[in-house]
Structure 1
Amino acid sequence: MSASAPDPDPRPLPPEEPGPNECCGSGCPLCVLDLYSEELQRYRQALAEWKARHPEPSP
């Protein structure tokens, strides 16, 4: 296997947190904070599944 081959099962990356001024505070039905929360839940689930496939080696 080549050293430059991409990882077939890369560790999930967390979503980018919205900036402090991205929420307008007007109660939008699709608020960036709500979307971020949903993305964060999906990330945590994907990370848990990834960790189950890649257990930490025992010391």
Structure 2
Amino acid sequence: MSRASRQPAKLPPPPREPDLDECCGSGCDPCVFDLYEQRLERWRERCKALQSSQDQRS
């Protein structure tokens, strides 16, 4: 087993959550919080894939 495969996968940082004052409150579609949720879901999927890939190499 190579040394690189024993190291845990480095996960990307999570997306930054918007501040409450970044939402204008006018019902925009998509709202900054909708976009954040989409980015957060993609981040979770990416982290899960990286961890799964790491597990398969172990």
TM-score, normalised to structure 2's length?
0.70
Q: CA deviation at 1:53?
A: 1.7
Richer in helix (by share): 2
Q: CA deviation at 1:47?
A: 0.5
Q: CA deviation at 1:30?
A: 2.0
Distance 2:13 2:45 in 1: 12
Aligned pairs for 1:5-16 (under 5 A) are: 10-16=10-16
Distance 2:29 2:51 in 1: 34
TM-score, normalised to structure 1's length?
0.69
Give aligned-pair identity as a percent: 43
What is the aligned partner in structure 1 of residue 48 from structure 2?
Answer: 48
Which amino acid letter does the alignment assign opposite residue 51 of structure 2? K
Q: CA deviation at 1:10?
A: 4.2
Q: CA RMSD in A?
A: 1.5
Distance 1:13 1:53 in 2: 18
Cα displacement string for residues 11-40 of structure 1 (whole angstroms, at most 9, x for unaligned residues) = 222101001211111100121000000000
Runs of 4+ in structure 1 deviating by more than 4 angstroms, as ranges, are none
Number of residue pairs aligned between Structure 1 and Structure 2: 47
Structure 1, unpaired ranges of 5+: 1-8
What is the aligned partner in structure 2 of residue 31 from structure 1?
Answer: 31
